[in-house]
Chains A and B, each alone.
Chain A
Amino acid sequence: MSQNRDLNGTISYQQALGNYHLQKQSLEGFPAAELSMDEQQLLKDFHPDHRQETMTTLQVGPNKGDRCHKQIADVLQADSRIDAADLAGARIQETDVLVIGGGGAGCAAALMAAESGARVILTTKLKLGDSNTVMAEGGIQASIEKGDTPQSHFNDTFKAGHKSADKELIKKLVMDGPETIRWLIQQGMQFDLNEFGDLLTRKAGGTSANRVVYFRDYTGLEMMRVLRESVKNSDVDVWDYSPAVELLSNESGHCAGAIISSLQDCRYVQIKAKTVIVATGGIGRVHLNQFPTSNHFGATGDGLVLAYRLGARLRDLDSFQYHPTGVAYPQHLSGTLITEGLRSSGAYIINALGERFVNELKPRDIVAAAIIRECEEGRGVVGDSASGSSDMRGVWLDTPGLEARNPGILKKRFPKLIQLGLKSKIDITQTPMLIYPTLHYQNGGVVIDENGRSGIEGLYCVGEVSGGIHGRNRLMGNALLEIISFGRKAGVSAVKDRKTRGHKQITIDHISNLRRELMQKNMPMSGKSPLLFPQYAQYDAEKNTTASNESSGFCGVCDQ
């Protein structure tokens, strides 16, 4: 074994690349890793969820006393952006069902609600389809292969989530898998098929059968463009550039709509709705533990905050998914996702010494923790002599080996990755990509029932904003299944549940309660949430964007 290191014990990008090629050309190649490892201990020692110094205890709200990440606590316990005075001049719009969020879950919910004959408004922070859904690559799980069963899908999902998920929710999810695929095909979505027209399937880390169906490594793009077109051709009223900044409640504390803050004209609008479906996605853009993220620009946990303020209970708030294969080099693409489909197809992960160190098809939390262990124990690439940067770290994703064993597979199945290689000036058929875990998914979220109902009457939460389906770790392909399956269920239920009578009184009393609680606990009132945008976008709602207008001569918020 080559031991190409610096004097101070670290291994540079070039040295590690040398080690990789030496080992690749050796007779033994890359033998499988020793598999005797204590997985629970590995997670405890190296998974970012277990960094106690970044955790805190919630002081206010339904989850008072629960542990969660400091950055999550900051947004959950921040002041509202809204005062009663803001509502005085705000236009009022009425509808039956309000869907907040324009990704896959929101579109599925809106389509089903509109199909049931309800008036539906879908509001989205940016444009319809701007979401994490469009970026999903790996695929969607459904037990359809001969010999595979919903029971196996259930068992795999429950086990990968460390036996903490809500079993009834998983049962609903897995039983709905094949029907969800059928519905997507009926929307006009294509999947990769074999020569006889059957759906192709592949494994995911932690699955016992080939169960992930996919369209190249563009599954999310194909899904989202089809759903977007469906929604735009339906009766759903789509409001782009309309982030929700607060929910409305009625005299009984039920959800009664939302306040949106238009990015078009910087005005507030009150949308009164009989039922509200929150489908705002996750929170990767707060960069927990300073990790880069694979998430969409708008993933700032807005729905989580809104639901919590109205009294909805959350779960597994301390559990996040760090996807093992995020780009570590080049640095301007840091955090960009490389699909698990590579590992499903047999790609190895190799450390800076040229060794495999984990079974690549273990669930994501185990593989991510193992990569972090390699880097912390000096077997990862550290720093980059070429650019002189010191915070780069990672291990290799062996695309050249995969291509050598399956000639042509990269071009045929992974066109998006080829593009990423071109942008990185790396020929991925010859040179491996340097990867490191990237903040990918919020495992927990709002507690829901089998139809996506939260604990608050009139309020539904579906998709990444909800919790319970994945427990404390999600399998590849279960997120796309969840958003469509539960999105559709919520859309149907929201129409059934709509009250025949309108709300007597529409209020934002829950904000007064929040402020009282914050003051009683002597909590700072300076921060405001929901965040709406990551801090580096320099969006300033307070100044109503005019300050930035004056300084820059143009407004990147509303283009006015």
Chain B
Amino acid sequence: MTHNLNDKQTNNKKDNEVSLSINGQPITAPDSLSVIQALWHAGYPRVKGVGCLDGVCGSCSVMVRRADSPEIKMELGCQLLIEEGMDVFFSVFESPLQHNYELSEINTSWDVQTEFHKIFPEAEKCRHCHGCNKTCPKGIDVESGVDLAIKGRFRESGELFVECVMCNLCMTGCPEFIDPNHVGLFARRVTGYFHTRPSNLINQLEAIRTGELDVDIDIEKQP
């Protein structure tokens, strides 16, 4: 259980334990632990780059190289189970926001495409290198999402980013300095902002506005 992981590391490696390196430190821990749990287990402090511990906040991105491959992959530290011979580094990339826009400044849904290219002028420079797809720890087809947004197909683009946790790793993988996840979020937001008009919600808002619906807090008096 996550709350008794403060046992200090022992030198006698047990059956289910693996040895790996995290931020250059040799660590031995049970193979059922995530990278973050393994650090704590071994007695190292770690608060930065730790978040929800549930794979959705995007704070704990790590670079990992496995024993059997020279390839470096990007993953989330709370979701990645440790393996023998792994080499893990917490990523410390700062990712300043490059774009500034407010949805309320886009006058009508007819203007979205024009505004998109003003806000994200670099998006159309995408050279289809797959850098964003390779860095995405969620396996999202980021590149297609950017492509669809460039074509103005925002609803379809946004659908590809449903599981995006805004870890910003795709930004680090883009040689053209596109912020693909922010492109995806823009696509999702304009879709909600301009096209979600549910009649059941609107009817109830009107009934509340006119006073037709109200609340009597004296619940005991009710039948």
Contacts of B164 in A (CB 8 A): 225
From known contacts A534-B3, A556-B46, infer whether A197 and B197 are also in contact, taking CB-CB under 8 Å: yes
CB distance from A154 to the nearest CB of B (A): 5
- State which of B79, B163, B205 has its C-beta within 8 Å of the C-beta of A178: B205
How far does the alpha carbon of A185 sit from the alpha carbon of B200 in the complex, in Å? 14
| B5 interface contact, C-beta 8 A | yes
CB distance from B139 to the nearest CB of A (A): 10
- Interface residues in A453-498 by Cβ distance below 8 A to B read none
- Interface residues in B164-221 by Cβ distance below 8 A to A read 164-166, 182, 185, 188-193, 195-201, 203-205, 208, 213-217, 219
From known contacts A150-B215, A332-B32, A391-B1, infer whether A199 and B48 are also in contact, taking CB-CB under 8 Å: no
| A126 interface contact, C-beta 8 A | yes
Cβ-defined contact, B196 with A149, below 8 A: no
| A143 interface contact, C-beta 8 A | yes
- State which of A134, A292, A545 has its C-beta within 8 Å of the C-beta of B2: A292
| A411 interface contact, C-beta 8 A | no
From known contacts A134-B56, A216-B162, infer whether A199 and B33 are also in contact, taking CB-CB under 8 Å: no
| B135 interface contact, C-beta 8 A | no
CB distance from B28 to the nearest CB of A (A): 15
Contacts of B37 in A (CB 8 A): 332
Contacts of A187 in B (CB 8 A): 103, 189, 192-193
- Interface residues in B74-116 by Cβ distance below 8 A to A read 79, 81, 90, 92, 97, 99-103
- State which of B33, B51, B215 has its C-beta within 8 Å of the C-beta of A154: B215
| B57 interface contact, C-beta 8 A | yes
Cβ-defined contact, B166 with A129, below 8 A: yes
Contacts of B123 in A (CB 8 A): none
From known contacts A134-B52, A537-B50, A554-B24, infer whether A287 and B3 are also in contact, taking CB-CB under 8 Å: yes
From known contacts A188-B188, A297-B53, A540-B45, infer whether A178 and B204 are also in contact, taking CB-CB under 8 Å: yes
CB distance from A136 to the nearest CB of B (A): 10
Cβ-defined contact, B45 with A199, below 8 A: no
Cβ-defined contact, A193 with B196, below 8 A: yes
| B120 interface contact, C-beta 8 A | no
| B133 interface contact, C-beta 8 A | no
| A533 interface contact, C-beta 8 A | yes
Give 1 or 0 for each of B20-47: 1 = CB within 8 Å of chain A CB. Answer: 0001110000001110010110011111
CB distance from B27 to the nearest CB of A (A): 10
CB distance from B188 to the nearest CB of A (A): 6
From known contacts A167-B217, A191-B196, A193-B198, infer whether A556 and B39 are also in contact, taking CB-CB under 8 Å: yes
| A241 interface contact, C-beta 8 A | yes
How far does the alpha carbon of A189 sit from the alpha carbon of B189 in the complex, in Å? 6
| B59 interface contact, C-beta 8 A | yes
- State which of A135, A146, A154, A537 has its C-beta within 8 Å of the C-beta of B46: A537
Cβ-defined contact, B51 with A130, below 8 A: yes
CB distance from A133 to the nearest CB of B (A): 10
Contacts of A263 in B (CB 8 A): 47-48
From known contacts A150-B208, A557-B45, infer whether A186 and B193 are also in contact, taking CB-CB under 8 Å: yes
Minimum-distance CB pairs A-B, first 4: A188-B189, A556-B46, A167-B217, A538-B45
A134-B51, A296-B54, A538-B44 are known; give 10 further A-B pairs, CB within 8 A.
Answer: A144-B200, A179-B208, A186-B103, A198-B199, A233-B100, A233-B102, A292-B2, A552-B44, A556-B90, A559-B48
